[in-house]
Amino acid sequence: MKHAGSSENKPKSMPHKAVAWCIRYPMVAVCLYVAIVSLFFLAFPGVDLLASGLFYFPGAGFSAQDLAFLREVRHFGPFLVRLIAIVCVTVLVLKLLVPGRPPLLPLRMPVFLISTLILGPGVLVNLILKNNWGRPRPRSVEEFGGDLPFQPVWKITDSCDSNCSFVSGEASAGMWLVSIAFLVPASWRKPVLAFILPLCLILSVNRVAFGGHFLSDTLISWGLTLLLILAIHRLLYVNNPPLVSDIRLDEWFTVNGRRLQRIARRVLMRIRRAVRSLFGVFSES
């Protein structure tokens, strides 16, 4: 028998209710996060300068970028992203090359990871935002020894031509690693996030410390990337029926893999005939 004062009967605290609401409506929660962060930095743009100023030293610049350990840490994130991408592509290519065998992983997994990587850090961050918004990097603005004016978030300018500060590609790639947590068993999610979230934070703070991005570039990049991950996860896993199932993907790769095998056999046969004809010409001459 439960007592009246047991924990089951206690009203939930506001933080607990907020977390539960975010879990129930994750895409709405992330949209609100992006909107709140954007409005904050538009209202208080000096916070960006203040945060970057913590790592800037007159005469030395953003000297953290000269530390070998921090440079190595920066390279670890892209290395991990490339490794996961290579594994995903390998799984799909092997299914095409050996269509009669079951795939190494359910095919929605590599499709989910590759599509979020291409559309998030690739298209949204690097092709659309970084190449078109024109926000100068901290080390390029006048406040930190550069020759360009400081620009706030979401303001499109011509101060930078390409690969600009808004938003952070490294922060986006770091947040993309969170997509792995969507695919692992529930019992693994906390350990996976316990490794990925600190890594994402370190990679992102590194870029601020190096003068490569403002704090707002990082925070907004997290939100936009996570929003895209949630949208694709909904399409592939949450919706009923999903956009595409593991069975349909397996069938598609099997059919096209066998088609590629037939094409390869025909090409090899033509090459053999051509080689035999060539040897026949030489033997008769």
Whole-number Cα distances in Å, 249 to 40, 93, 232: 43, 13, 16
Q: Is the residue at 12 inside a domain?
A: no
Residue type, 8: E
Q: Is the residue at 239 inside a domain?
A: yes
Q: Is the residue at 268 inside a domain?
A: no
Enter the pTM of the model: 0.89
Q: Is the residue at 189 inside a domain?
A: yes
Q: How far is CA 42 from the centre of its chain?
A: 25
Helix axes 26-43, 14-24, angle to 10 degrees: 110
With 0-12 CB in 10 A as exposed, 13-18 as middle and 19+ as buried, what is 172?
A: buried
Q: Is the residue at 264 inside a domain?
A: no
- For residue 1, name the pLDDT band (cuts at 50, 70, 90): very low
**121 CB neighbour count, 10 Å cutoff:** 25
Q: Percent of the chain scored above 90 by pLDDT?
A: 78
Q: What is the mean pLDDT of the chain?
A: 91
Q: Is the residue at 271 inside a domain?
A: no
Torsion of CA 260, 252, 123, 27, to 10 degrees: -170
- For residue 15, name the pLDDT band (cuts at 50, 70, 90): confident
CA–CA distance, 47 with 10 (Å, rounded to integer): 40
For residue 105, what are the domain limits?
Answer: 27-254
- For residue 207, name the pLDDT band (cuts at 50, 70, 90): very high
Q: Is the residue at 279 inside a domain?
A: no
Whether 285 has a pLDDT exceeding 60, the answer reads no
Whether 7 has a pLDDT exceeding 50, the answer reads no
Residues in the chain: 285
Closest CA to 171 of 113, 220, 133, 114: 220
Predicted local distance difference test score (pLDDT) of residue 11: 63
Q: Is the residue at 56 inside a domain?
A: yes
Mean pLDDT over residues 195-222, rounded?
95
Whether 10 has a pLDDT exceeding 70, the answer reads no
Q: Structural domain tally of the chain? A: 1
